[in-house]
Amino acid sequence: MKLKIAAISDMHYTPEPKVQVPKRHGDYAPAFVDAAVQMINDDVRPDILLVAGDIVDMPEQEALLAEIAPHFSNIACPMVVIPGNHDPAPEIFYKYMPEPPPFIDINGHRIAVFPNDSGANGYKASRRPEESYRFGPNDGTPVLMLQHVPIALDGETSSIHTYENAEGIIDDALSHNAVFSIAAHFHGGAAPYFRCRLPHLMIPSLTEEPCSFVSFTFENRRLVQYTIHYMDKEFLK
Ligand SMILES: [Fe+2]
């Protein structure tokens, strides 16, 4: 069975332009979300939308999260949203965003959702072993993992960001039939990468130039399509 996924991330909604990062347009995040939702509904037509975190730019910006949340409500497919390291903690985040179940079985695949991983030294992340229940029952269903920070080992990608306990997470993932890992955090994004123990991709930032999101399709546990969708940034002028 085919599972088509659209994935957006790293809107970094902020009231003012971020002068230190001129190519990031977080002050236009609601307009970017509106435009992406329309493209996804009209053109991409996925089975599910994944939103991989850093919706706002600062964890204390709860009011901005409340303001941008309704902009996701027009999506026509099921949606899974997780917080990133720039968002409020999950217990606040999910006051405004729909809280996903630990895993979702859809079209012959399972999406395991990891919203509770914590930050670690050097912009890294860490996962507690108790989070393993999010893989669901070991019944042979191929699992796609979703978390904000990429799970990669040294030298696998150009991103320096990963989990401090990545090796153990990968061991656990493979023992739970994980076939792919979906993350963001690295704003340039990264195409699907397979020369590693746990293949993965990184979703690009929606609001940081070139301003894009991705869609991809799994068919019987294999990736068969991957597309980068570039945003029309007319509203920035
Ligand atoms: Fe980010």
54, 88 contact by CB (below 8 A) = no
Cβ-proximal residues to 22 (8 Å cutoff; 6+ apart), any chain? none
For residues 78 and 80, what is the distance between their CA atoms, to the nearest angstrom? 7
Q: For residue 1, how far is its CA from the centre of ligand 1 (angstroms)?
A: 32
Q: Distance, CA 107 to ligand 1 centroid (Å)?
A: 30
Question: What's the 74 CA to ligand 1 centre distance in angstroms?
Answer: 23
* 131-162 pLDDT, tens digit each: 999 999 999 999 999 999 999 887 777 677 89
Question: What is the CA(85)–ligand 1 centre distance, in A?
Answer: 7
Question: CB-based burial of residue 105 (10 Å sphere; 0-12 exposed, 13-18 middle, 19+ buried)?
Answer: middle
We report the CATH number of the domain holding residue 231 as 3.60.21.10
C-alpha 27 – ligand 1 centre gap (Å): 14
Distance 172 CA to ligand 1 centre (A): 26
Domain that holds residue 84: 2-236
pLDDT at 102: 98
Q: How far is the CA of 65 from the centre of ligand 1 (A)?
A: 15
What mean pLDDT do residues 75-96 have?
Answer: 97
- Spacing, Cα 84 to ligand 1 middle (Å): 7
| pLDDT of the residue at 74 | 96
CA of 210 to the centre of ligand 1 (A): 15
Inform me whether the pLDDT recorded for 234 exceeds 90. no
Number of compact structural domains in the chain: 1
Instruction: Report residues near ion ligand 1: CB below 5 Å.
Output: 10, 54
Least confident of 119-123, 165-169, 201-205: 119-123
Question: Whole-number mean pLDDT of the chain?
Answer: 95
